[in-house]
Amino acid sequence: MTDFKCISNRTHVKSNSGSVIFIGVDLFADQSTILQSRHLNICLAIDCSGSMQGEKIERAKESAIILARSLSPNDLISIVTFEYKVKVLLAPTLASEQDKIENVISSIQVGSATSLYGGLQKANDLASKNAKSGRITRIVLMTDGIPTDKENPKDYEKLCAEIRKDGITVNPIGIGDNYNDELLLRISDSGGGEWMHVTDPHSQLPNFLREQVTMMLNTIAINPELKLEFIPGAEIIDFYTVKPILTKMELPQRKGNQYVLNLRDLVIGQEQTIVFRIKLPHQPSGTYNLLNASAIDKNVDMSITYTEDSTLYNSEPNPDPRILLFATEGTVLMRKGMDGDTIALQKAETILKAVPTDPDATIALNPATQATVMNLKNIHDATVMKPNLSEAEKKDLMHDTTIIRRKENK
Amino acid sequence: MLNCPICSFSENPDDSVYCTECGGKIAEESQPEPQVVAPPPPAQPEPQVVAPPPPADLQNPGGILVLPDNSNIQVETAPKTIGRMELINYLKTLQGVDPMTISRQHFTISQENNTYYVEDGNTVVQDKASSNRTFLNGVDITDKGQQELKNDDVIDLANTVKLTFRL
């Protein structure tokens, strides 16, 4: 069953006055959701730059073979490698041709340079050929370095947004300490995927690749939209996704009173949590339709009452969305602080003081909110305890505070 | 008008509980929860006769805490905690000092009727006393309630960082 929830922190605001409220949105499909079985179409884009030599490339090859073996005979797989040159190693091929696939993977060799953009472009050429035939399509990008062809994250965001329009998901996997985590995070945001961070290729890579197949098989909606129609004059002023990825999102385009947001693919068992900061218009006393929200086949209506009664407008029936937004905002600022932005660090510290970190105070909150608050506290303590974090420690911390879901599973 | 402690927005109406700019909570709800620990009164109430007339610039009294490297922290009207984060840039420059020696909330500085106070303990903004104590002019004031601050007083955090209070 698909569960769709919208919660605001306040139900009453002051008449004829400006107010800011918070709305949390939760979308979840549980195990009982009826799944249509669909064929898969997966494209592996593998970094073959010199730095991949040795353990990394060998584990990548081994994991690619494991992934290919876990596919059903009618699923499609294609492979692109990129170093200085971008090569199509395997055009889309049915997984039933196991020998051919394994021979191709075994033949992979390293070169020099990292044409990541070119590799991603070529992967899209291959993946998009069969994306519209109802197959669940995913590009899995494995890299350990900084791109040498295009460096500007904006170029990648633009490309990934294009890829995403065809319903294709881009999942970047970063290996080791030398890749650009910020870039991979942006690729996963715009490509609708999940950034994965591999510190130990031997134990993690095979699992991560197998997980890709499981997630594809459990996908029940590709590129779903969240439609939000607000009371006229209301405005989204901040927008964060908390699960499966904690990140600040670009403000969506507004058409009239309606916003349309692209969500990640809905996967069974994977919760999507989003939180908004909303500026409300001035209104005379009365009850109004605050919001009509819809996603997949679900619909939620919410109302808001403008009143002169200070007991009502000063009450907060559910502090959860407010605390969730501040904890998320603080975490995003803290990450900037980790990279040396002292103003962001100070802001994060102020926010940390404004969210309850005492276990007694957080007990009534949703698990996702609790986890986000604890995350903020952890990232803060780790950063302040060790002002000079190594690159490896920073990446671990960045990743731990990005993927809240994994944190809870630990 | 109320100041928001989170985003510093200064034009919130006096009865606001939520900031009209960032939505953060700036005050307790209109029915205050019973205070578990009553804020302790100033240690020594000032005799009215001796109190000098307040200076003309009462609106902006401007106390500051001066760090050993001559950087400073502005003391705001609202009670504020000083701790590791506020001092982190200075702490980073110290050789062989573990920043964790200084608590996240090491002491509270507040202002009432143009008089400044320092306190290291459970205050309206501080959860508990610092782990490694606070000294005012060499005297341990940890968990001893509010202490009045005068110009040139020295606040020593954990025998590690000395801050000079200047009016």
Q: What is the CATH number of the domain that holds B77?
A: 2.60.200.20
- C-alpha B9 chain-centroid distance: 20
- Interface residue of B6, B9, B76 to substitute, partner A, most A CBs within 10 Å: B6
A40 pLDDT more than 60: yes
The pLDDT assigned to A88 comes to 96
Packing angle between helix A391-400 and helix A367-385, nearest 10 degrees?
160
Question: Is B42 inside a domain boundary?
Answer: no
B26 & B68 share domain = no
A46 & A139 share domain = yes
From chain B, the residues in CB contact with A277 under 8 A are 22-23
Average pLDDT over residues A332-358: 85
Token pair of A364 as six digits? 């009534």
Structural domain including A292 reads 2-34+223-315
B81 & B6 share domain = no
For A393-403, how does the pLDDT look when each residue is reduced to its tens digit (9 = 90+)?
Answer: 888 888 877 87
Number of H helices and E strands in chain B, helices first, is: 1, 10
Lowest mean pLDDT among A15-29, A330-344, B32-46, B109-123: B32-46
Closest listed residue to residue A274, CA positions, set A249, A254, A303:
A249
Calpha distance A397→A378 (Å, rounded): 9
Token pair of A241 as six digits? 């996704």
The pLDDT assigned to A383 comes to 78
From chain A, the residues in CB contact with B124 under 8 A are none
A119 & A65 share domain = yes
Calpha distance B25→A302 (Å, rounded): 22
**What is the identity of the amino acid at B2?**
L
HEC string for A245-258: CCEECCCCCEECCE
- A169-175 and A196-198 strand pairing: parallel
Q: Label residue B167 by pLDDT band (50, 70, 90).
A: confident
A–B interface: beta-carbon pairs under 8 A:
71
Question: Is B35 inside a domain boundary?
Answer: no
A57 & A15 share domain = no
First-to-last alpha carbon distance for chain A, in angstroms, is: 26
B51 pLDDT more than 90: no
Share of residues in chain A with pLDDT > 70 (%): 97
B122 & B75 share domain = yes
Average pLDDT over residues A195-200: 89
A246 & A389 share domain = no
A203 & A72 share domain = yes
- B107-112 and B115-119 strand pairing: antiparallel
Q: Label residue B34 by pLDDT band (50, 70, 90).
A: very low
Rounded to the nearest integer, the mean pLDDT of chain B is 78
Reported pTM: 0.71
Q: What is the CATH number of the domain that holds A291?
A: 2.60.40.3670
Which is more confident, B53 or B163?
B163
Question: Is B121 inside a domain boundary?
Answer: yes
Closest listed residue to residue A135, CA positions, set A74, A187, A210, A80:
A74
From chain B, the residues in CB contact with A349 under 8 A are 85-86
A404 pLDDT more than 70: no
Please indicate whether, in this complex, the C-beta atoms of B85 and A349 are within 8 angstroms of each other. Answer: yes
Calpha distance A318→A308 (Å, rounded): 20
Question: Is B54 inside a domain boundary?
Answer: no
Q: Label residue A14 by pLDDT band (50, 70, 90).
A: very high
Please indicate whether, in this complex, the C-beta atoms of B99 and A384 are within 8 angstroms of each other. Answer: yes
The pLDDT assigned to A324 comes to 94
Domain boundary among A172, A200, A217: A217
From chain B, the residues in CB contact with A325 under 8 A are 23
A311 & A327 share domain = no
B111 & B162 share domain = yes
Question: Is B103 inside a domain boundary?
Answer: yes
- Interface residue of B3, B7, B12, B20 to substitute, partner A, most A CBs within 10 Å: B20
Question: Is B39 inside a domain boundary?
Answer: no
Domain boundary among A168, A184, A217: A217
The pLDDT assigned to A374 comes to 84
Phi, psi of B27 (to 5 degrees): -150, 165
Q: Label residue A320 by pLDDT band (50, 70, 90).
A: very high
State how far residue A316 is from chain B, nearest Cα, in angstroms.
8
Rounded to the nearest integer, the mean pLDDT of chain A is 89
Q: State how many domains chain B has.
A: 2
- C-alpha A299 chain-centroid distance: 23
Closest listed residue to residue A275, CA positions, set A240, A226, A223, A313:
A240
**What is the identity of the amino acid at B20?**
T
Please give the residue of chain B at the shortest CA–CA distance from A17: B20
Average pLDDT over residues A134-162: 92
The pLDDT assigned to A359 comes to 64
- Interface residue of B21, B36, B104 to substitute, partner A, most A CBs within 10 Å: B104
From chain B, the residues in CB contact with A281 under 8 A are none
- A219-221 and A266-267 strand pairing: antiparallel
A163 & A242 share domain = no
Phi, psi of A81 (to 5 degrees): -115, 150
A181 & A131 share domain = yes
B56 pLDDT more than 70: no
B100 & B20 share domain = no
From chain B, the residues in CB contact with A353 under 8 A are 5, 81, 105, 125
- A169-175 and A136-143 strand pairing: parallel
Is residue B143 within 8 A of residue B121, CB to CB? The reply is yes
For A99-111, how does the pLDDT look when each residue is reduced to its tens digit (9 = 90+)?
Answer: 999 999 999 999 9
For A232-256, how does the pLDDT look when each residue is reduced to its tens digit (9 = 90+)?
Answer: 999 999 999 998 889 898 888 888 8
For A44-63, how does the pLDDT look when each residue is reduced to its tens digit (9 = 90+)?
Answer: 999 999 889 998 999 999 99
The pLDDT assigned to B28 comes to 63
The pLDDT assigned to A32 comes to 77
Sheet holding A196-198, edge to edge: A86-94, A76-82, A40-47, A136-143, A169-175, A196-198
B3 SS3 class: coil
Is residue A346 within 8 A of residue B89, CB to CB? The reply is no
State how far residue B48 is from chain A, nearest Cα, in angstroms.
36
Any chain B CB within 8 A of the CB of A82? no
Paired with A44 in beta bridges are A79, A140
Quick one: A369 exposed, middle or buried, by C-beta within 10 A (0-12, 13-18, 19+)?
Answer: buried
Structural domain including B8 reads 1-30
Share of residues in chain A with pLDDT > 90 (%): 56
Domain boundary among A315, A346, A365: A315
Closest listed residue to residue A288, CA positions, set A5, A42, A12:
A12
The pLDDT assigned to A256 comes to 86
Q: Label residue B31 by pLDDT band (50, 70, 90).
A: very low
Structural element, H or E, at residue B115: strand B115-119
DSSP structure string for A310-324: HHHHT--S--HHHHH
B90 & B10 share domain = no
A45 & A173 share domain = yes
State how far residue B100 is from chain A, nearest Cα, in angstroms.
6
A209 & A240 share domain = no
How are the residues of chain A apportioned to helix, strand and coil, as percentages rounded to the nearest 5? 40, 30, 30
Cβ count near B49 (within 10 Å): 5
B160 & B102 share domain = yes
Contacts of A41 (CB under 8 A, 6+ apart): A75, A76, A92, A127, A130, A131, A133, A135, A136, A137, A138
Question: Is B43 inside a domain boundary?
Answer: no
Token pair of A21 as six digits? 């409220």
Closest listed residue to residue A192, CA positions, set A231, A218, A233, A224:
A224
The pLDDT assigned to B136 comes to 94
Give me the interface pTM, i.e. the ipTM: 0.81
From chain A, the residues in CB contact with B24 under 8 A are 322, 326, 354
The pLDDT assigned to A233 comes to 92
Q: State how many domains chain A has.
A: 3
Please indicate whether, in this complex, the C-beta atoms of B23 and A387 are within 8 angstroms of each other. Answer: no
Average pLDDT over residues A336-340: 80
Contacts of A160 (CB under 8 A, 6+ apart): A120, A170, A187, A190, A191
Structural element, H or E, at residue A347: helix A342-354
A18 pLDDT more than 70: yes
Question: Is B48 inside a domain boundary?
Answer: no
Q: Label residue B49 by pLDDT band (50, 70, 90).
A: very low
**What is the identity of the amino acid at A100?**
K
A257 & A376 share domain = no
A100 & A241 share domain = no
For A263-273, how does the pLDDT look when each residue is reduced to its tens digit (9 = 90+)?
Answer: 999 999 888 99
Average pLDDT over residues A272-284: 95
The pLDDT assigned to A373 comes to 87
Structural element, H or E, at residue A119: helix A116-129
